Structure 1
Amino acid sequence: MEEEQSVAKLPLIEAECSARLGISNIDYDQDQHGGVGSLDSAGAPVETRSTAVLCICTFAAACAAFTGGCLASYSSLAESGIIADLGLTVTEYSVFGSIMTGGAMLGAVISGRMTDFIGRRRGAWLLDLGRLSLGIGFGLTCYVGPVYLAEITPKNVRGLLMSISQSMTGYGASFTFLVGSFVTWRSLAIIGCIPSLLLLLALFFIPESPRWLDYIENQRLQQNSDDNVLNLFRRKYLHIVIIGVGLMVVQTSDGLCGFLFYMSEIFDSAGISSTLGFILVAVVQIPSFVLTAALIDKFGRRTLLMASATGQCLGCFLTGLSYFLQDVDWWKEASPILALIGVLVYMGSYAFGMAQIPWIVVSEILPINVKGSAGTLCNLVNWFCSWVVSYTFNYSFSWSPTGTFFIYAGMCGFGVAFIAKLVPETKGRTLEEIHASLTHIMQ
């Protein structure tokens, strides 16, 4: 009975969220939600105003994601210049390459509670302070952005807008690969400040999440909450936590940070021009991100995730095979081409879904009453796995390039199985419908 009442309230919740933002949800009756010809209190068309609000909100989240992409790929471009100018050893550069993920773990620890305490919009203001420690800023915004967009966008365009925003991480990486091929590592660091300034400006024009406002209001009235770490392991939420944490492990344990942070070393050891390799990676990734945004609400999250993980598995296998051919001294002339194809397949496949969809799904499946602690846990796991991969990649690569990439191919294969078995499809459903279906599974 309680579940039926909850489901019955879903249109009202969705309508209230739309009203608070000035967004007309086209999934409902236009007469009830200010259809195309309606005017707001200022006399402006509701549809025009709501589109502008969503565009600004998406732009703000996209700037945060773009900055993160620049940060993630920076060390890959800067590796040779930094080592040459500063004379770093392998160990010292491994610390440099992985220290951002350490800072991101600190940001992850406070991200969930922070978003519940001061809201989604103002949480991103801390990015400016986070520039003092890039990892902390990235750890904050990579969670705040998807949650904010998930809570403000109508269900019929949620996947599209969130995919566009999250794809900006890849666009930032591609931008860094292209620009970094022609400028010094110091100039590249300065250029990376531009999207942060744009984000700072956009924050003056975006509203607060209506779902968070309702949550805070209910908290004041009820004076109770399920939002603590211990409650995450109750039967009611355990299934959701497993999905969220599992997706974070799948996204980061497939060797991505190794590819991003040490791509120049991969190209050099395979006998490929780093400049050519970086440009080709950028060229391959951009259409993959566009394709994901176009298809995510048509084919769904699960289908694209499985296709992406399968492609990553193939890319890791081909890259490992190229080094194996070098090891056995057989068909060595084909090894550089095979390594390049492997890297391009991997990065293109990552851009096709794994880059953005795990964060989209996590922000959709977490109930708002545990979103703070659950989001912190998922974010922390994500960055811990990223730190492990980025710190150990140089050592494992020195031990055996072949073995390193075959191990990551196995992790990608595990990701395919995990997604097929546990990850739900969330396209075309309100957040409340998603939460009701997942919590019902464990009751």
Structure 2
Amino acid sequence: MGSKMDEENSSERLLLTVGDRSNDSASVVATRVVVLSTLVAVSGSYVFGSAVGFSSPAQTGIMEDLNLSLEEYSVFGSILTIGAMVGAITSGKIADQLGRRKTMGLSEMFCLVGWLAILYLKVSWLLNVGRLLIGYGIGIISYVVPVYIAEITPQNLRGAFTTVNQLMICIGVSMMWLIGVIVPWHTLALTGTVPCILQIISLFFIPESPRWLAKNGQWKDCESALHRLRGANAEITEEAAEIRDYTEKLHLLSEAKVFDLFQPEYAKSLIVGVGLMVLQQFGGVNAIAFYANSIFISAGFSGSIGSIAMVIVQVPFTLLGVLLMDVSGRRPLLMISAAGTCLGCFLTGTSFLLQDLQENKGLSPILALVGVLVFTASFSLGMGGIPWVIMSEIFPINIKGSAGSLVTVVNWFGSWVVSYAFNFLMTYSTQGTFFFFSSICGLTILFVAKLVPETKGRTLEEIQASMNPITAN
């Protein structure tokens, strides 16, 4: 009993210490190195977005040139998520072993080889191999980029900077849709190689995460990285001491394995992290992103005009989400975003219902367009980026690799299920598919209201200490 009370008191002291220190650094501003490092990291997010956005504009051309059936193209479209699941499984371990920078570089090598395979090996199964390799690369990217950004940015800017990850994914998707309107699919694949090469080169000019360096006992390198990130004349004593204290506390614990994550002390973080990813994916985002063209065509609307309209909507709303992230907080933005995606799917489902009933035929295509645009705008505002921000914030460094891998695997598994099944679900019941997505989005509002904590304006150490009771052996 006494030992347990000592452990609880120790956790409380750690939380109070972190909380006191967080106020001292609340007004820290971003330096050029933080901005540059974030831009280099989110080059990988652009690669992520371009990979997701490729399958929609390329669908007609690839199916015609290679004589693929709808089922075969569904395999090509969804196999990206299979590779991403494998990448996600290994992402945490790789990032913990190699560091954040080298992991980003490794992921881009896989993506680059994958794009070259799609570009030059115009045989259906080899295209699938290329798509699988890209998937593996972006599976790693989807974990390591938000984690790296969260670990290098000041607490008062962390939400906005981490959400730039989603903004660049959005820009990557949008650019693929726009370029895909005017160029053939193989030229579109060539454009996918450019950001891979740019990030590989740029990684040599940014610092490693100071928290990763501290975890590996490289204290001098940790302080050097903090000086680069905060400015040569900045006072880093408080932040360095906070990182050191928290890291030393965590070193008393053994490195968590996947099955260790299911211990009671990590339950809240795991439920929040996994729950947000499940709800994000089963809300239908990748179904719309992967197959936007076919959705518009099925609704009787121009696929090209619809895709351009999505670009016009999603980039500004993603930018708005970035600006609001550290103003409104995570929870309000998430609930507003989920409510909007719920409405968007409901409107789209209603348009297909009217089409089946052969009523208001002129209204049905417009309603589908409005529904998809409302969904896209709302998702871009919060549901796209905030789950990744929260994932990067809630897990302590000793379990971040295993927990982050698990959460990312869940996300990509949900993405695979939805992207593979979507064409078949649309054949079975178009309106039912979107009404199902709408119900999941509605459930998201309740989940956020009941379980998701507000993390705005708090240090990583404070958030993690409050959600995960730290006990020493």
TM-score by length of 1: 0.89
Q: Is it true that 1:209 corresponds to 2:209 in the alignment?
A: yes
Aligned to 2:280: 251
Aligned to 1:84: 64
Aligned to 1:161: 161
Q: Is it true that 1:199 corresponds to 2:199 in the alignment?
A: yes
* Cα deviation, residue 128, structure 1: 2.8
SS state at 1:427 partner: coil
Q: What is the identity, as a one-letter code, of the residue corresponding to 1:190?
A: L
* Cα deviation, residue 25, structure 1: 4.9
Q: Is it true that 1:55 corresponds to 2:1 in the alignment?
A: no
The equivalent position to 1:73 in structure 2, one of 24, 29, 53, is: 53
Q: Is it true that 1:325 corresponds to 2:325 in the alignment?
A: no
SS state at 1:107 partner: helix
C-alpha change, 1:417 and 1:12, in structure 2 (3 Å) is: closer
Q: Is it true that 1:120 corresponds to 2:100 in the alignment?
A: yes
Aligned to 1:41: none
What is the total number of aligned residue pairs between the two structures?
A: 414
Q: 8 Å contact 2:45–2:169 — kept in the other structure?
A: yes
C-alpha change, 1:129 and 1:227, in structure 2 (3 Å) is: same
Q: 8 Å contact 1:59–1:165 — kept in the other structure?
A: no
Q: Is it true that 1:134 corresponds to 2:134 in the alignment?
A: yes
The equivalent position to 1:306 in structure 2, one of 331, 335, 344, is: 335
SS state at 1:331 partner: coil
TM-score by length of 2: 0.84
Q: Is it true that 1:386 corresponds to 2:430 in the alignment?
A: no
Q: What is the identity, as a one-letter code, of the residue corresponding to 1:51?
A: T
* Cα deviation, residue 270, structure 1: 1.1
Post-superposition CA distance 1:117-170 (Å, at most 9, x none): 111111101123222310001000111000011111110111111112321101
* Cα deviation, residue 174, structure 1: 1.2
Q: 8 Å contact 2:167–2:318 — kept in the other structure?
A: yes
Q: 8 Å contact 2:277–2:387 — kept in the other structure?
A: yes
The equivalent position to 1:427 in structure 2, one of 450, 456, 469, is: 456
Aligned to 2:83: 103
Q: Is it true that 1:171 corresponds to 2:151 in the alignment?
A: no
The equivalent position to 2:298 in structure 1, one of 269, 273, 284, is: 269
Q: 8 Å contact 2:270–2:403 — kept in the other structure?
A: yes
Q: 8 Å contact 1:56–1:202 — kept in the other structure?
A: no
SS state at 2:382 partner: helix
The equivalent position to 2:265 in structure 1, one of 224, 236, 241, is: 236
Gaps of 5+ in 2: 1-8, 115-132, 218-246
Q: 8 Å contact 2:93–2:401 — kept in the other structure?
A: yes
Aligned to 1:7: 15
Post-superposition CA distance 1:232-282 (Å, at most 9, x none): 111100111011000110111111111111111111111111111111000
Q: 8 Å contact 1:127–1:196 — kept in the other structure?
A: no
* Cα deviation, residue 8, structure 1: 5.0
Aligned to 1:152: 152
* Cα deviation, residue 441, structure 1: 11
Q: What is the identity, as a one-letter code, of the residue corresponding to 1:198?
A: L
Post-superposition CA distance 1:331-390 (Å, at most 9, x none): 111100001101111111111111111100110011111001101100100000000000
Q: What is the identity, as a one-letter code, of the residue corresponding to 2:27?
A: D
Aligned to 1:40: none
- Structure 1 stretches of at least 4 aligned residues deviating more than 6 Å after TM superposition: 11-15
Q: 8 Å contact 2:95–2:401 — kept in the other structure?
A: yes
Post-superposition CA distance 1:6-25 (Å, at most 9, x none): 1354389879xxxxxxxx95
Post-superposition CA distance 1:204-258 (Å, at most 9, x none): 0111111111112268x95852411122111100111011000110111111111
Distance in 2 between residues matched to 1:145 and 1:436, nearest whole Å: 23
Post-superposition CA distance 1:379-421 (Å, at most 9, x none): 1000000000000001001111011111111111111111111
SS state at 1:271 partner: coil
Distance in 2 between residues matched to 1:412 and 1:11, nearest whole Å: 34
Aligned to 2:401: 372
Gaps of 5+ in 1: 16-23, 29-46
Q: Is it true that 1:335 corresponds to 2:315 in the alignment?
A: no
Aligned to 2:74: 94
